[in-house]
Structure 1
């Protein structure tokens, strides 16, 4: 269950980043509120997952999902660069996240 919570927290971290961009410096009320809600919920779920998952592993997976997921969504939705070196770096982040899950004892 902890890994499921960690995955949901990571997805919410992606939503957090997108709502933050959409809030335009917290000048747009609805995206600003959604930024706060997704950010707080993400951290609460991370905290719950860390009851079972080792802190280093959990935090690395959470930030990895958030960073790689946000970069992928930026490419897919916002037209960010999909240059091969950039995509390669995203793939390495994802490989690290998967590796941490595979070697975790929980």
Structure 2
């Protein structure tokens, strides 16, 4: 259940970021309620995951890294933004770092 809560936090955070991009720097004001809602929901789910005992280092690491990777991929598909090999390598390094944090937490 804790990982599902974290997954919901990640999905809602990425949605908020995509809404932020769609708002064109908040010039399209109609996106503001969706942006605010998505970020509040994300922090709510993250809070619930932490309250159920997930380590903050693991939760934040997975949340942030997954958000980076999903945002880059979705921005490529939805907005035609670049996703270069170098960016892909960076995403892989971030994922490796999160894996190492998770393994370190599991061995404690």
Instruction: Provide TM-score, normalisation by structure 1.
Output: 0.84
- How many corresponding residue pairs? 105
Counterpart residue number, 1:12: 12
Which runs of no fewer than 5 residues in structure 1 stay unpaired? Answer: none
Instruction: Provide TM-score, normalisation by structure 2.
Output: 0.83
2:73 maps to 1:40: no
2:44 maps to 1:49: no
CA deviation vs aligned residue, 1:40-77 (integer Å, no higher than 9, x gap): 00000000001210011111111111111101111222
Counterpart residue number, 1:77: 78
Residue 2 of structure 1 deviates from its aligned partner by 0.8
Which runs of no fewer than 5 residues in structure 2 stay unpaired? Answer: none
Question: What RMSD over aligned residues (CA atoms) do the two structures have, in Å?
Answer: 1.8
CA distance in 1, matches of 2:12, 2:102: 19
